[in-house]
Amino acid sequence: MNPSRRDAIAALVGWPALASLLSCRRGPERPRYGGEIVGGDLLRGHKLRTGELLARPPVRRERVGTAILGAGISGLSAAWTLARAGDTDFRLYELEDVPGGNARSGRNAVSRYPWGAHYVPVPVDRNPALEALLEEAGAVESRTPDGRPVWAEQVLCADPEERLFFRGLWWEGLYPRAGASGRDLAELARLEREMHRFASLRDARGRRAFAIPRRLSSDDAEWTALDRISMREWLSRNGFTGSRLVWFVEYGCRDDFGSSLDDTSAWAGIHYFASRLPGHATADEPFEEPAPFLTWPEGNGHLVDVLLRSARERIVTGTVVFDVVPRADSVEVRYLDAPRDEVVSVEARHAVVALPHFVAARVLAPWRKEPPPFVAEFQYAPWLVANLTLADRPRERGFPMAWDNVLYDSRGLGYVVATHQSGPSRGPTVLTYYLVFAGEEPRKAREKLLSATWDELSGAAIADLSRAHPDLPGLVTRADVYLWGHAMARPHPGFVWSPGRAAAQQPLGRVRFAHADASAFPLFEEAQDAGVRAAESILKENGTPFLALVALGSGL
């Protein structure tokens, strides 16, 4: 391995060059595997930066009932909702060549695999929109007499779910239990009790303190005040200081938000735990099982495929939407048809902006003229996702391979196993490796990520995992890498209950906003909820009859 590659890898995974050298020494000089950097045409998106497109006249004009900008989960959910109501007068405009956004997936001869989001927790409260979609996805086997879904066994995450590489061995679960003292375990139990208490809190209107989707949470100041401090602050104020516990909680923040304890709002950090507990704990039964996960080999790409059933012919990919002008009773949308290099103008009755707000700020004409103050509040964490195709299972010691496999001393988030749900327990597989840059300034991390070569990025992923699997370098047959420059908005302190974040969701005339980033939580449920709500409010305004899946107007 040449020194510059080694340094680049060390910079990415965040430990000294010597460590990477040691773990790679048995690997080949040049990688023997193939692969590439997948997706994310940066040049296409960066065309927005110059404003040059705004000067180009349209070569054609289109008319459509609803223009949906962005074919991630929120845009696809808006389309799904319209189609369910029989309204097919819509079109989706997507920057990438493939729809799905953060829930995109890929496939090869070995397995399907996720490129980003890879699970949905079973809703702990009734969530009609999510239940309806999951039913279409074949995840609901039957219903109980009171109408609750019975989840199909093969879709629930198969046991064993999680393990942790700690002190040279794999252990079951994510909390580093090996060698934990009685005090450590007592502290963990105290945290769990605290989270169960948060899960059981209800306000005077019966709302949970911490709910999914977030807008259903109580806005009582008693609890929203937690948004003003960081999760690290909350831990130390409450006497949670053990290094194991702090690692465990920070892992949750890194995993769900891509942020460190300092960058995470305490409200968000608590939400991570409390929103997934049923919230019916009592003094007699103080502990409940958290909601199990629903997962598929291709992760949430499975749900993308279900959503696409109603939208596939109405998606226009490779489009750079660069201008959205709200008018009295219509919206003008202009986009660049990138493959043909043509500017097209669309006159739509409604528009659903399912774009992240850092993009929306450059696209919305009124926001370009006068940037709203909330734009600066949105911070986006960059992510690296690598899909490693292996010829065989790697050697390892300790607890057997689980679905989610985490390394304790790592900046990476570990890997999920694509063949875990239904594939064989041996032989070739695909590991999806996630690396975040929690604690780093997003812009710097982004620059580091975007300047690295494929060789360095794939090498970083493999070097990180080689510490737990020494023979991994020789088993990799292909390593594809996805760069997410702005993977998700971070719920930093003050953001979750910020008036600015709420204002970012307010419609501008017939332009509605549906991206999950305005909910403060980069979750499937938030994206779906936002998309369904936007579409239902359009259906309502158009007077189209529909079966409502969400309660409109409750919370922002």
Partner 1 sequence: MEEGRVRPGPVYLTVLVIATCGLVYELVAGTLASYLLGDSVTQFSLVIGLYLTAMGLGSWLSKFLERGLARRFVDVEIAVALVGGFSAPLLFLAFDSPRWFQPVFFSVVVAIGALVGLEIPLMLRLLKRSVVFKDLVAQVLTFDYLGALAASVLFPLLFVPRLGLVRTSLVFGLLNAAVAFATIRLFRREIGPPGGLLARAAVVTLLLLFGVASADRLTDLAEEGQYADEVLLARSSPYQRIVVTKNRAGFQLFLNGHLQFSSVDEYRYHEALVHPAFGVVPGARRVAVLGGGDGLAVREILKHPGVESITLVDLDPAVTRLAREHPLFVALNRGSLLSPKVKVVNVDAMKWLEEGTDRFDLFFVDFPDPSNFAVGKLYTSRFYALLGRRLAPDGAFAVQSTSPLFARRSFWIIERTIRAAGFATRAYHATVPSFGEWGFVLAAAHPFGVPEALPPGLRYLSTETLASLFAFGPDMQRTDQPVNRLDNQVLVRTYEDEFRRFEP
Q: How far apart are CA 168 and CA 407, in angstroms?
A: 10
CB nearer to partner 1: give 161 or 187.
161
Binding of partner 1 at residue 425 (CB under 8 A)? yes
Binding of partner 1 at residue 173 (CB under 8 A)? no
Q: CA separation (Å) from 164 to 190, 287, 399, 400, 408? A: 21, 22, 9, 10, 6
> Do the Cβ atoms of 298 and 260 come closer than 8 Å?
no
Output the smallest distance, CB 63 to partner 1, in A: 47
Amino acid symbol at 57: P
Q: Which of 157, 346, 360, 511 binds partner 1 (CB under 8 A)?
A: 157
CB nearer to partner 1: give 27 or 428.
428
Is-cis flag, bond preceding 213, omega within 30? yes
Binding of partner 1 at residue 156 (CB under 8 A)? yes
Residue count at the site for partner 1 (CB under 8 A)?
A: 14
52: DSSP letter: G
Q: Which of 125, 159, 409, 447 binds partner 1 (CB under 8 A)?
A: 159
The values of phi and psi at residue 112, to 5°, are: -85, 155
Output the smallest distance, CB 431 to partner 1, in A: 17
Calculate the CA dihedral of residues 482, 213, 72, 35 and round it to 10 degrees: 20
| Helices and strands in the chain, H and E counts | 18, 21
CA distance between the termini of the chain: 52
CB nearer to partner 1: give 74 or 295.
295
Q: Which of residues 395-424 bind partner 1 (CB under 8 A)?
A: 400, 424
Binding of partner 1 at residue 506 (CB under 8 A)? no
CB nearer to partner 1: give 175 or 454.
175
Q: How far apart are CA 45 and CA 554, in angstroms?
A: 34
Output the smallest distance, CB 134 to partner 1, in A: 15
CB nearer to partner 1: give 128 or 292.
292
> Do the Cβ atoms of 128 and 298 come closer than 8 Å?
no
CB nearer to partner 1: give 159 or 222.
159
CB nearer to partner 1: give 345 or 421.
421
What burial class does residue 250 get, using C-beta atoms within 10 Å of its C-beta: 0-12 exposed, 13-18 middle, 19+ buried?
buried
- Contacting residues for 480 by C-beta, under 8 A, at least 6 apart: 35, 36, 37, 38, 106, 386, 387, 458
CB nearer to partner 1: give 160 or 398.
160
Q: Which of 14, 160, 439, 500 binds partner 1 (CB under 8 A)?
A: 160
Output the smallest distance, CB 191 to partner 1, in A: 24
Q: Which of 34, 371, 427, 499 binds partner 1 (CB under 8 A)?
A: 427
Residues linked to residue 295 through DSSP beta bridges, in sequence order: none
Stretch that binds partner 1, among 99-107, 158-166, 251-259, 334-342 (CB under 8 A): 158-166
Stretch that binds partner 1, among 71-79, 154-162, 267-275, 332-340 (CB under 8 A): 154-162
Amino acid symbol at 198: F
Binding of partner 1 at residue 158 (CB under 8 A)? yes
Q: Are strands 169-172 and 162-166 parallel, antiparallel or unpaired?
A: antiparallel
CB nearer to partner 1: give 146 or 289.
289
CB nearer to partner 1: give 393 or 411.
393
- Contacting residues for 32 by C-beta, under 8 A, at least 6 apart: 474, 476
> Do the Cβ atoms of 152 and 163 come closer than 8 Å?
no
Output the smallest distance, CB 154 to partner 1, in A: 5
Binding of partner 1 at residue 453 (CB under 8 A)? no
* CA triple 264-270-274, angle to 5 deg: 150
Q: Which of 26, 237, 426, 443 binds partner 1 (CB under 8 A)?
A: 426
Q: Which of residues 248-307 bind partner 1 (CB under 8 A)?
A: 292
List interacting residues with partner 1 (CB under 8 A): 153-154, 156-161, 292, 400, 424-427
